Structure 1
Amino acid sequence: MLTEEEFKAIYLNYKIKEIVPFLKKLTPKDKIEVAAILKKHINKEWGHNNISVLAALACSRTKEEYAKLSPGYYSLPIDLIEDLFESFIPEWIGESYPFLKEIEYLKVMEWEQSGYLTLADELNASLLSSSLLSADQLQSYPVILDSYIWLLFEYECSITARYHDVNWKDTLKTLVQENKIDRFRVLKSSLKAINFNFSKENNTWFLELFNYLEPTDREIVELQEELFLIFHSTQHSLFSVVLKMITPIAIHKDFKTGEFLQAVMPLVTLSSKTIINPLLQIFEKIAGNNEKYREEICLLLMPVFLNKDKAVQNKAAKIVLKYGDPASEKLQEEMKLYEGSLLADIHTLLDKFLVEQKENKEEQNYEAVVWHTSAPVLPVQTISDFIFFAPQVFNTGEMYHFDLFLDALMRFDNEFEEDHFHQLEPAFKAAFKLKDTSGFRHLLATFLINYGLFRQKKKSPILLEARLAFPDLENWVGKKTPLIFKAYHQLLLDIFEALKQNKKIPLLSVPDHSPCWISVHNLVDKLKIYQQKGEMPVPFDLEIALLRIEKEELKQGEGYAKEHLNTEYFHLLKPVFEQNYFSEHYRNGFLDGNFSWNLSYRKIYKWNKTEEIPQFLVDIESRKELPENASFPDYVFSSYDGVYDDDMIRILYTVPYFSCSVFAQKYNKNLSNAVYQYDIKESMALLDAWMKLNLPFQPVHYVFLSAGLFNKDKTFSGMAFEVLINRAVSNDFDMEELGKLIGKKISFEWAPVKRLTDGLSGFINLSTNHNIAFEKLLISILAAIEKPVFNLKKLLELYDELKTRNQSETDKTIIDLLEEWGKENNLKKLSIKLKTNERKTL
C-alpha cells in the first residue's frame, strides 16, 4: 500500500524529479502493483503525463502490456528515459514499435550503439522508412548505410512515404550519385523487392525507383532475370513498364531470349493494349534478328488472335506473315485452334497458313439452348405433405409455392384437427421470423398467424407471441402500402372469408405448370366445381387466373369451356376468348409496352459539387389512388414505390402478358443512368424471370435489356448478352428496335461504347444466323447515332467485320452517314473502306 500511496503522491502532485528515483528502487512485485494502478486510473479519471509514461515504460513486463498502457501520441521525456536506462532497461524495448516510433531514429541509433537495445530487422525497416532522414543525416552512423538501409528493400514498410520535398527516391538517388551506397545493389534490390510482392503501391514504387535511377542497357542486361520474374506477378500494371525497359536490349548478344519467351507466355492472353503492343514489338525484333526463334514466336503469339481488337490482330498477323513458315505443320495445327477467332480481314491475310475445312465449324459449334423448360406444378396431395411443405413456403422457393400453400389450405381446412395445428408449429415459427419484414412474405405470414389464431382451439405459445407482433389481417394495409399489395391483401381477405364460411372450393389462380402458367382446360375443370356448388369465384382469384392463362390452343379451350360450362360461368372467361378485351379496357402502353421515353440530364449532388449525368427515362404514369371497384390489372398498372426483392417477380408472374409497367418502373428506378445503378441482383433476377416466360419482347423489355448490355457489372452484362444470344435469331425478336434504343443512348453519350463492343465482339462467328442478326443490330445502332461519338470507330470496325463475314454490302443508311463521319481524322480510312466495300487481300 505504501508503494501505491507514494506513486499517487508523485503523479497527482506532478513531482517529476522524484519519478525516476522512485522507479529505480521498485522491486518486480512493486512494478506489478504500479502497472495495476495505471490500468485502473489511466484513461478514466487520470490522463497521461511524463510521469505516467515513464511508469508504463518501467513497469510493463511485455511490449503488449506497454502498448495498452502507453498513450501512443505523447511526447516522450528523452532525458528522463535515458536516466532510467542507466539502471534499468526493459528486455522488450528493441521490439516495441509503439515506444520506438515516438523516438527520433538517430536517437534510437544512439541507444543501440550504447547497448540499450537491439533492433529487430523488420522493426528497424519500419522506423527508418518513416523517419524520412536526409542523405546527410543517414551518414551519421555508418551502420545505417552499410546495413540498415538495405532492410527497406526486404520488409514491407513506409518507403513510399513523403513529407513536403523529402522522399526516399530522391534520398537514395543522392546517396548513389555520391557513391555512399552501391548503385547496382540498389537496382537489384528494387527488383527483388517487387518479387516479394508486398503491396501494389510498394511494387509500383520500387519499379519507379529503378526507372528513376536511369539504368543503362548493360545494367538491364545484367538484371534481366530479375525483370523476367516480375512477369509472374498478379499486378499486371507493372508489365508494360518492364517490357519498355526490355525492348532496347531484346537483341543484345547476352539477352536470354529463351527464358524471356517462357516468362512472357502468360502475357499473350491478356487484353490490355499497353501490354500486348510492346510485347509484339519485342517479338518482331527477336524474330527479325534470330531465325532460330521465329517458329516459337509465331506459335507463342497465337492466343493474341483471341483479342478482338483489330489493330492488335493485324500486328500479330504481320509478324506471322513475315516470319512464319506456311509449310510448318506445327504452325498450321496451332492456327486451326484459333481460326474461329480470326477477324475476317485477318483471316484473309493469313489464308495461306490455314488448312481448308470441309465442314462448316461455325454451325457445328453453336447449339440453341432453351432458357427454361416448363414443368408440371402438382398440388399438395395430403395433409401430411402440407405440414411438411408449409414451413418451406416462408423461406426460399418457387413463386408458385405460395399459391400451392393457399390452395392446400382451402382444400384441407375442414379436415384439420387440433393435433394438426401442433404439427404446424414449425410453419408458425417460420412465419413469426418474418415479423420485421415487409411485402408479400409479411402479408402471407400475417395471413397464416391470423388463420392459426382463428382455427386453433388451445393457442400455442408461438401464436400468442405472434399475436403481439403481427396486426389483424384486416388492418395489415397502411398509409404507405403500395396499391399492388392492397390487391393481394384483398385477395387474402376474400380467401380468409371463404375459409371462415367453410367453403371447400379450389383456388383458381394456382399455376399448373412452371413458372406461372394455367391451362384453359384446368381452369374450366375448376370452374365446373364452382358451377356444381352454385358458388361464384373470389373476384381477384378469378382475375389472376385469367391473366395467367397461356395463350395456346385457345380455340380448343373455348370449345371445351362451352361444352362444360353454362352461359353464366362461360361468360367469366370472356377476357380469355375475346381478342380485344384488354385493349378495350386498358391503355395500350401498359399492354404492349410501347411507352414514350425521353433523354435528359440528371443532377447529382456529390460533396460540394453538382454533377450532370445523362439519363434515359421511360414515360410511365404512376397512379397512387384507384376507385373501389378497380380490377386487378388496375392495381398492377400503378406505382411500385416500396416494392422490393422478389415481389417484383411475383407481380410479373401474376400478369405475365402485361409485365410492361413492372419493367418500366424497375428500369426507371434502378437503371435509368449508367453511372449510378442499384439493385443489380434484383434486376438480373427479374430479367431471368422474364426469360423463363418465353414471351415476345416488347419495347420496354428492349429498354431494360439495353441497360444490361451496357452495365458495368460484368455478371449483369454477361447475362444480358446471354439473353441477346438466346433471342437474336428468333423470329419475334426485333433487332432494329433494340438497335435504335442503343443508338440513341450512344448518341446521347449515356454509356461508354466500349462496354457494348467488348461484349458483342466476343460472340462474332457464333453462327451464320447470329452474324446476320448482329449486322442488323449494328446498322440500326449506327443509323440512330446523330454525331460522331467517342469510340465510334470501334462500332464501325465491328460492323465492317460482320459485313465482311456475311459478304454483304454497306447499308445505304450507313453510307450516307459516312459522308459526315469521314471528316473525322480517325475515321477517314475506315469510312473510305466501308463506302467502297473494300476487301483486304494479299
Structure 2
Amino acid sequence: MEELKDELEKLSKAYVDNPENEEKILIPFIKRLLELPMKERRKLLPVIKDLRWIKSRFAGCLSETHCKPAQARFLSAVQFVCGNKREIDMAYDMKFDMLCKLLPLYCPVWLTDFINDDKTWYGFDLNYEELMQLMDMGYLKELHSGRIAKVLPWVTRIRSKKPQGDDTFNSDFLLRRDITLKEHIWALFEHESGIGYQDDCAKAAYKKGITARDESISIALYRFSLDGHVDRNRLLKATLATFHRNFKKDMTGWFAGFFETLQPTTEELLSLQEEMMQVFTSSYTKPVNVMLQQFKKIAAEDGFCYQEFVERVTTLFFSSPKNSLLTIHAIFEKIATQHPEMKEACCIALCQLFLKKDESLQRKAAGFISKYGDASSSVLQETLQSYQPEMFQSVQAIIATFNAQSTNKPNNTKTANAGAANSETINAEATNTASNAATADHPSADSLSEEPTMEALRICKEDNRISFPANKEDFLFQLSRLFDMEDSWEIDTTIAAIITFHPQLDEEDFSRMEPIFQRASNAVINSWIAYEDLLATFLLEYQRLWAQKDTSKTGVLRNMFTRLEERLKGIDSNRGAYDERAFKRLADWKPGYSDATCFTPIQKLWLDVIRRVKDGSTLPLLSTPTHTPAYIQATELVRRLAAYQAADAKPCTWDFQLAIARCAMEDKEEAIATARQVLKNEYLHLFLFLLDENTMPEPPYTHQPAWVTAGLVKSPETEFEAFKSFSCCTLPHNYLSGDYEWKELKSKEKPYETDRRLLQLEFYKWHEYAERNSHQLWQEHLILNSKYNIDDSRYMEPLLCCFPNRPEPLIAQIISCYLSFGTPQEDSKRSIAHALRMLLSFHCPLREMSLLLLGGSLLFVDKTVRSYAAELWIEGLTAGRINNRRTGEILARLISMELAPLKRFTTQVYESMYKRSTFHNHQLEELLTVLICGLPDKPVTGLKQLLELHLELLSNNHSRITDEQLRQRLQEWTASSNLKKVITSLNNL
C-alpha cells in the first residue's frame, strides 16, 4: 500500500491533462485500483486530501492553496473510485467526459443520490444536457426537481470559447427535448434557482447586440405560452403560487416581473382574482405591488370583486410602501365612483393611512374622506376621532374643514366638497385656525402610557424556569427529540439528565433508544452542520459506552450496536467497509471544514459527561441552566458547587467556567448568605468575589480559569492585577472582553452603494496568538473562531448562550462578518436578526459592541433587522441596560461615515419607535438631540425629514430646544433654503 501511495503522489504531481495521458496513465491506474477491495482503496483518501492542498507559510501564518487543475482532475478521478458519498469532495473537478469514461468501469450505488443532493457544495459540474445524457445511458436513475431547478436555467447559455469573450444565448434549446417544457420547466416554479441572474445576462446580451432577439427564459416562456408549447393558464397559476414558497427576495422579484411579462388579458385577470388576492400575504413588496397594478387595470370591469378586494387589501396598509398605498388609493377612487354603497367602507379603510408617518399619504386619505365621506356618519366620525392623535397638524386642519363644511352642505355637492378638501388650496389663515383648534384638543403624549418603573427586571422567574425531567419516562421522551430541539437550553438539560438517569436504565429502555442512535449515525454521515455533527458523535460515544459493557446473555446492547454498524455497510463492494467516521471517538472530533476551535470547550464538557457516566458519578453538571435562555440562579449554583465540595470532587474546568459565565447576577445577598453557610476556602472566596461588588480576589487560585471568568462577568472592562500572572492569561484583555476599537472608514465616491463593513477585525492576526495560547479559557477558543462557525442560529445560539452576561466577543465577530451596508446576503440578514433576538432575550447591559450592532442595525437595509433593532432599543431603555446618549453618538458617526442613508433610520422611528410611551418619547428626544448634534457641518441627505420628525416629537412632548449645541448646529444650517422653514419652526417652539 505504501508503494501505491507513493505512486499516486508521483503520478498526480507529474500529470499533464490531455487525452493521451488519460488513456495511457489515468485510466490504467484506475483499473488497477478497482482490482483492490474497497477497504484497501479507501486508504488512499488521506493521501488525496494531502495532495489536494499545497501548504505554505507567510508572515508566520499557515495558508493552503488548491493544487493545479491537472492534478485536481487526476485526484478527483481516483477519489471517485475510493470514497463514499460523503467523502467525494472533488467531484466538481471532474468533467463530464472523464465521468463517462469512469462509469463503465465503476458505477457506485450512491451516484443518483449524490447528483440529486442539491444541498452539498461538492457536486459534479454537470449541466442539464449532460445530466439528461446520463439518464439516457442508464447511469442516472432519476433526476429530482430540485436538481433540475439548479441546472435548467443555464440550458440557454452558450459559453464563449474565448477567455474574455461574451456568452451568447438561444432559448430554442428549451425545445430540444419534449420533457423539458412538459415536465421539467415546472421545477423552476417549485425550487430556488439562478433563473433571475441568467435572465439578466440574456437581456444584457440582447441590449449589446450579441443576440438578435431577447433570449431570456421569461420572454421565451411568454412566446411558448402563445404558440401552445406551454399551457398558459397553468403558467399564470404556477407563477402566482411561487409567492407562497418562501423564496428569497430576488427570486420572488423575478417571478413578479415575469407575471407582468406574460401580459395577462382582462379576462385572465378576472379569472385569477382569488389567486392574486392571496399574494397580499407575501412578505415582499414587489409581488404585492405588481398585483395591485393588475387590479387597477380591472377595477372598472363588471367582473371585478370590489367588495372582497376592499376587505382583503386592508391588511396591506400597515406593511406596504408608499407606491403600493397610492395604488390602493387610486383603486378606491374607482370603486367609490362606480359603487356608491362602498364609499364609507373605503373611507374607513383609508383611515389606516393616518398611522403612516408620511404627511402626503395622510393628506391623500383626508382628501378622499372629504370627497366621498359622509360627515353625519357616526361610524366615520368615531373612526376619525380614534386616529386623530396620529394625524399631522395640517391633516387635522383638512378633517376639521371637512366637518365644518359638511354640516351645512346640501346633497350631491361633490365638486364643492372636493374643492374644500383639496389640501393644496387651503389658505394659510384657515390652516392656522384649524391647526390651533386641533392642537388644543390633541391628546398627543398625554394619551400614551406613563413612564415605566425602572426597577430591575427579574432574570430568574417562575415563568421562565427550566423543568428538569421528573422521571425516567420524561427523560427518554426528551432524549428521543434531541435533534429536533430548537433551543440550546433543551439540549443542555437533556445531556445533563443522562448523568442522573443512566443508572436507572435497563435493556428495555436502551432498546427504546435505538431510533435516536440511528439518527445520530445518519447525522454524522450526512450532516454538514458542525454542532449537529458534534452532538451526534457524543450520542454514539454514549452508545458505545454501555454497549461495550453489555454482559447479558442476550447481548441486546451489543447487537444493537452491530445492527447500526451493518446498516452502514454497503450492499456490495462499491460501498466498501462501513464509514468509520460514524463511529469515531468523541475525543477525536473536529469540524470537517475549519480549524476553528469554538466548539472545543463543548466537546470537552461532553467528554466529561461520558467520563461521569462511565465512573458512575451522579454529581450534577454545574453549568446546566435553570432559567431560559441560559441563566443559572446564583443560589442554585452555590448549592451545586457545595455538592462537589462535600464529595471532595474537582469540577471540570470547562463546566466550572460555563457555570460562572451563566450565573444570573441578581439576588446576590441571598446567594452570598448561602455561600457563607455551605462553601469554604477557595470556592467561598471565588463566589464572594463574583457576587459582592466590594470584594477583591483572594488566593489560593487553584481554579485560575474560573477566577478569570468571574472577573469578566463581574466587571469585563477591569483587568484585575491578581490575574495577570495566571498561566491562562496569554491574550490581551480586550480580546477576552470583546472591547474592540472601530475605526472610521474612508469615504467613497458613491456612498451607500458599497459593501463596506462596519468593523474590520483582523482575524488572521488572532492566529498569531494560537501557538502561545494557553487553551485553558473558553474565550480563547471562541476568538479563534471563523465566519463559518457563527453562520446563523444553528451555531449562533449555542455559542451566545455560553455568555449571556457578556456576549461582546461574539457580537464583535457577528458585526465584522455580517453587518455590511451594501446589498446583504440572506445569511447576513438572518444572522444579524438572530443576534438581535438573542440580545433581546438576555438581561446584560449593552456595551460598546452591542450598541454598535444596535446602531448599525437601525441603519441596515433589511426592514426586519431594523424592526428587531427598534424593539431592542425599546426594551433596553425600559430595562435600563442601554446608554441612550452613546447610541445617538454611534448613529451620528455611522451616518457621517456615509455608510447608510439617514432615511432608513427616520422611517424606522416613525414606524416603531415613536409614540410607544411617554417615557420612550422623551428618550427618543434625547437620542435625536445627540444624533443631530453629531452630524457633519454639511447637511446630509435626509436631514430635512429628520428635523421634521424632531419638530413633531418636540410638539408631542410639549418640549422645546434647550441644548445650546443643538441651537448652534441649527443656526449653521439656516443658510440652506431647504432647511430654513423647519429650523424656524424648531426655534419658535
The bucket for the TM-score relative to the shorter chain is 0.5 to 0.7
1:647 aligns with 2:805: no
1:400 aligns with 2:542: no
Kindly tell me: are residues 343 and 731 of structure 1, through their superposed partners in 2, closer, same or farther at Cα, counting changes over 3 Å? farther
1:201 maps to what in 2?
Answer: 261
Kindly tell me: are residues 732 and 620 of structure 1, through their superposed partners in 2, closer, same or farther at Cα, counting changes over 3 Å? farther
Contact 2:355 2:390 in 1 (8 A): yes
Cα distance in structure 1, aligned partners of 2:605 and 2:332: 72
Q: Paired residue for 1:615, among 744, 757, 775?
A: 757
1:337 aligns with 2:479: no
Q: Paired residue for 1:823, among 975, 978, 981?
A: 975
1:669 maps to what in 2?
Answer: 817
Q: Aligned partner of 1:332: which letter?
A: Q
1:775 maps to what in 2?
Answer: 925
Q: Aligned partner of 1:631: which letter?
A: L
1:305 maps to what in 2?
Answer: 354
Q: Paired residue for 1:503, among 603, 617, 621?
A: 617
How far is the alpha carbon of 1:518 from its aligned partner? Answer: 1.2
How far is the alpha carbon of 1:668 from its aligned partner? Answer: 1.4
Cα distance in structure 1, aligned partners of 2:849 and 2:903: 24
How far is the alpha carbon of 1:560 from its aligned partner? Answer: 1.1
Moved more, 629-638 or 649-658: 629-638
Cα distance in structure 1, aligned partners of 2:688 and 2:445: 52
How far is the alpha carbon of 1:299 from its aligned partner? Answer: 7.0
How far is the alpha carbon of 1:817 from its aligned partner? Answer: 2.5
Cα distance in structure 2, aligned partners of 1:241 and 1:813: 52
Aligned-partner SS, 2:635: helix
How far is the alpha carbon of 1:534 from its aligned partner? Answer: 1.6
Kindly tell me: are residues 623 and 449 of structure 1, through their superposed partners in 2, closer, same or farther at Cα, counting changes over 3 Å? same
1:576 aligns with 2:690: yes
* Unmatched tracts of structure 1, length 5 or more: 1-39, 45-65, 73-121, 131-151, 157-196, 207-224, 226-230, 251-255, 605-610, 838-842
1:179 maps to what in 2?
Answer: none
Contact 2:466 2:627 in 1 (8 A): yes
2:988 maps to what in 1?
Answer: 836
How far is the alpha carbon of 1:630 from its aligned partner? Answer: 2.2
Question: CA offsets, 1:486-508, max 9 Å, x none?
Answer: 22222223333333333332211
Q: Aligned partner of 1:435: which letter?
A: V
Aligned-partner SS, 1:766: coil
Alignment of 1:93-132 (within 5 A): 126=226
Cα distance in structure 2, aligned partners of 1:753 and 1:670: 20
Kindly tell me: are residues 365 and 408 of structure 1, through their superposed partners in 2, closer, same or farther at Cα, counting changes over 3 Å? same
Q: Aligned partner of 1:706: which letter?
A: G
Cα distance in structure 2, aligned partners of 1:716 and 1:500: 46
1:597 maps to what in 2?
Answer: 742
Cα distance in structure 2, aligned partners of 1:592 and 1:663: 11
Alignment of 1:121-520 (within 5 A): 126=226, 199-201=259-261, 203=263, 236=289, 302-314=351-363, 332-344=381-393, 346-347=395-396, 362-363=447-448, 374-436=463-525, 437=527, 438-456=529-547, 457=550, 458=555, 459=558, 460-464=561-565, 465=568, 468-477=581-590, 480-520=594-634
Aligned-partner SS, 2:385: helix
1:634 maps to what in 2?
Answer: 780
Cα distance in structure 1, aligned partners of 2:180 and 2:322: 52
How far is the alpha carbon of 1:835 from its aligned partner? Answer: 3.0
How far is the alpha carbon of 1:693 from its aligned partner? Answer: 1.9
How far is the alpha carbon of 1:655 from its aligned partner? Answer: 1.7
How far is the alpha carbon of 1:376 from its aligned partner? Answer: 1.9
1:695 aligns with 2:844: yes
Cα distance in structure 2, aligned partners of 1:560 and 1:733: 32
Cα distance in structure 2, aligned partners of 1:676 and 1:736: 28
How far is the alpha carbon of 1:123 from its aligned partner? Answer: 10
How far is the alpha carbon of 1:802 from its aligned partner? Answer: 0.7
1:789 maps to what in 2?
Answer: 940
1:561 maps to what in 2?
Answer: 675
Q: Aligned partner of 1:545: which letter?
A: A
How far is the alpha carbon of 1:796 from its aligned partner? Answer: 1.6
Question: CA offsets, 1:296-339, max 9 Å, x none?
Answer: 99878644423321244356657878999988756533321321
Kindly tell me: are residues 266 and 518 of structure 1, through their superposed partners in 2, closer, same or farther at Cα, counting changes over 3 Å? closer
1:711 aligns with 2:860: yes
Aligned-partner SS, 1:819: helix
How far is the alpha carbon of 1:701 from its aligned partner? Answer: 1.5
Contact 1:483 1:639 in 2 (8 A): yes
Q: Aligned partner of 2:356: which letter?
A: N
How far is the alpha carbon of 1:537 from its aligned partner? Answer: 0.9
1:814 maps to what in 2?
Answer: 966
Q: Aligned partner of 1:767: which letter?
A: S
Q: Aligned partner of 1:530: which letter?
A: Y
Kindly tell me: are residues 265 and 753 of structure 1, through their superposed partners in 2, closer, same or farther at Cα, counting changes over 3 Å? farther
Cα distance in structure 1, aligned partners of 2:368 and 2:807: 54
Contact 2:773 2:780 in 1 (8 A): no
1:747 aligns with 2:896: yes
How far is the alpha carbon of 1:734 from its aligned partner? Answer: 2.3
Cα distance in structure 1, aligned partners of 2:973 and 2:366: 28
Kindly tell me: are residues 502 and 124 of structure 1, through their superposed partners in 2, closer, same or farther at Cα, counting changes over 3 Å? closer
How far is the alpha carbon of 1:539 from its aligned partner? Answer: 1.2
Cα distance in structure 2, aligned partners of 1:267 and 1:715: 22
Contact 1:362 1:765 in 2 (8 A): no
Aligned-partner SS, 2:664: coil
Cα distance in structure 2, aligned partners of 1:784 and 1:519: 42
Question: CA offsets, 1:90-127, max 9 Å, x none?
Answer: xxxxxxxxxxxxxxxxxxxxxxxxxxxxxxxx999946
How far is the alpha carbon of 1:551 from its aligned partner? Answer: 0.8
How far is the alpha carbon of 1:263 from its aligned partner? Answer: 9.8
Aligned-partner SS, 1:691: helix
1:54 maps to what in 2?
Answer: none
Cα distance in structure 2, aligned partners of 1:395 and 1:778: 44
Question: CA offsets, 1:338-364, max 9 Å, x none?
Answer: 213212554467567579599988336
How far is the alpha carbon of 1:627 from its aligned partner? Answer: 3.0
Cα distance in structure 2, aligned partners of 1:405 and 1:788: 57
How far is the alpha carbon of 1:450 from its aligned partner? Answer: 1.8
Corresponding residue pairs, total: 627
* Unmatched tracts of structure 2, length 5 or more: 1-132, 138-174, 182-221, 237-256, 271-275, 281-287, 404-437, 569-578, 697-710, 713-717, 724-728
Contact 2:445 2:956 in 1 (8 A): no
How far is the alpha carbon of 1:454 from its aligned partner? Answer: 2.6
How far is the alpha carbon of 1:205 from its aligned partner? Answer: 11
- Highest CA radius of gyration, 1 or 2? 1
Contact 1:614 1:750 in 2 (8 A): yes
How far is the alpha carbon of 1:652 from its aligned partner? Answer: 1.5
Kindly tell me: are residues 574 and 490 of structure 1, through their superposed partners in 2, closer, same or farther at Cα, counting changes over 3 Å? farther
Kindly tell me: are residues 387 and 793 of structure 1, through their superposed partners in 2, closer, same or farther at Cα, counting changes over 3 Å? same
Cα distance in structure 2, aligned partners of 1:302 and 1:393: 49
2:949 maps to what in 1?
Answer: 798
Kindly tell me: are residues 322 and 813 of structure 1, through their superposed partners in 2, closer, same or farther at Cα, counting changes over 3 Å? farther
Aligned-partner SS, 2:629: coil
Kindly tell me: are residues 602 and 507 of structure 1, through their superposed partners in 2, closer, same or farther at Cα, counting changes over 3 Å? farther
How far is the alpha carbon of 1:449 from its aligned partner? Answer: 1.0
Cα distance in structure 2, aligned partners of 1:443 and 1:474: 10
1:760 maps to what in 2?
Answer: 909
Q: Aligned partner of 2:766: which letter?
A: R
Of all paired residues, the percent bearing the same amino acid is 24
Question: CA offsets, 1:533-558, max 9 Å, x none?
Answer: 22111111111111111111223212
Question: CA offsets, 1:60-101, max 9 Å, x none?
Answer: xxxxxx9968999xxxxxxxxxxxxxxxxxxxxxxxxxxxxx
Q: Aligned partner of 1:623: which letter?
A: W
